[in-house]
Amino acid sequence: MKFLFDSDTWQEIYGSIRKNKVRTIITIIGVLWGIFLLVVLLGAARGMENGFNKLFGNFATNSVFVWTQSTDTPFKGFQKGRRFSLNTNDIESLKSEYSKEIRLLAPRNQTNNLVVHNFKSGDFKVSGDYPVLDQIQKKKLIYGRFLNKNDILSIAKVAVISEDMYKRLFDKNVMPIGEYIKINAINYKVIGVYEPSNTIDFDGDTAYIPFSTYKKVYNTANKIDWMMITAHEGTNIEQMEKDILLTLKNLHKVHPDDERAFGSVNLGKEIGKVTGFLTGMQFLTWFVGIATLIAGVFAIGNILLITVKERTKEIGIRRALGATPKSIRQQIILESVFLTTVAGMLGIIFGALVLFFIDWKFGQGEDAALVNPTVDIPIILIAFVTLVILGTLIGLIPAHMATVVKPIEALREE
Partner 1 sequence: MIRIEKLHKSYPMGKDSLHVLKGINLHIKEGEFVSIMGSSGSGKSTLLNIVGLLDEHDEGNYFLNGQLIKNLNEKKAALLRNKFLGFVFQSFNLISYKTALENVALPLYYKGMNRKERLKVALDYLDKVGLKDWANHLPNELSGGQKQRVAIARALVTKPKVVLADEPTGALDSITSDSVMDLLKDINNEGMTVFVITHEEEVAAQTKRIVRLKDGLIISDELTKAVKAAKAV
Site for partner 1, rule CB under 8 A:
7-8, 11-12, 15-16, 18-19, 313-314, 317-327, 403, 406-408, 411
From residue 301, how far is each of 119, 383, 385, 402 by CA, in Å?
Answer: 80, 18, 17, 13
Kindly tell me the sign of the dihedral angle through the C-alpha atoms of 197, 203, 206, 210: negative
Q: How far is the CB of 340 from partner 1 (least distance, A)?
A: 22
Q: How far is the CB of 8 from partner 1 (least distance, A)?
A: 5
15 versus 81: smaller Cβ distance to partner 1: 15
22 versus 321: smaller Cβ distance to partner 1: 321
Q: How far is the CB of 338 from partner 1 (least distance, A)?
A: 17
3 versus 277: smaller Cβ distance to partner 1: 3
328 versus 343: smaller Cβ distance to partner 1: 328
209 versus 410: smaller Cβ distance to partner 1: 410
140 versus 326: smaller Cβ distance to partner 1: 326
From residue 326, how far is each of 122, 209, 312, 331, 404 by CA, in Å?
Answer: 87, 82, 16, 8, 11
Residue type, 293: L
Q: How far is the CB of 18 from partner 1 (least distance, A)?
A: 8
Q: Where are the beta strands (DSSP E) in 43-131?
A: 63-68, 86-87, 102-117, 120-129
19 versus 172: smaller Cβ distance to partner 1: 19
230 versus 403: smaller Cβ distance to partner 1: 403
Q: How far is the CB of 409 from partner 1 (least distance, A)?
A: 8
Helix (H) and strand (E) counts in the chain: 13, 12
Q: How far is the CB of 357 from partner 1 (least distance, A)?
A: 38
Rg (alpha carbons) of the chain, rounded to whole number: 34
Rounded to whole angstroms, the Cα distance separating 185 from 200 reads 31
Query: Taking a C-beta distance cutoff of 8 angstroms, is the pair 401, 301 a contact?
Result: no
What is the DSSP secondary-structure string of 78-98? BPTT-B--EEHHHHHHHHHHT
Q: How far is the CB of 32 from partner 1 (least distance, A)?
A: 24
Residue-level length of the chain: 414
Q: How far is the CB of 301 from partner 1 (least distance, A)?
A: 23
DSSP alpha helix (H) spans, 311-324: 312-320
Q: How far is the CB of 321 from partner 1 (least distance, A)?
A: 4
Rounded to whole angstroms, the Cα distance separating 350 from 358 reads 12
285 versus 403: smaller Cβ distance to partner 1: 403
Query: Taking a C-beta distance cutoff of 8 angstroms, is the pair 398, 304 a contact?
Result: yes
Q: How far is the CB of 398 from partner 1 (least distance, A)?
A: 17
Residue type, 127: S
Q: Which residues of 388-412 are buried (b: 16+ CB within 10 A; e: fewer)?
A: bebbbebbebbbebbbebebeebbe
337 versus 410: smaller Cβ distance to partner 1: 410
Q: Where are the beta strands (DSSP E) in 232-377?
A: 262-266
Rounded to whole angstroms, the Cα distance separating 224 from 91 reads 9
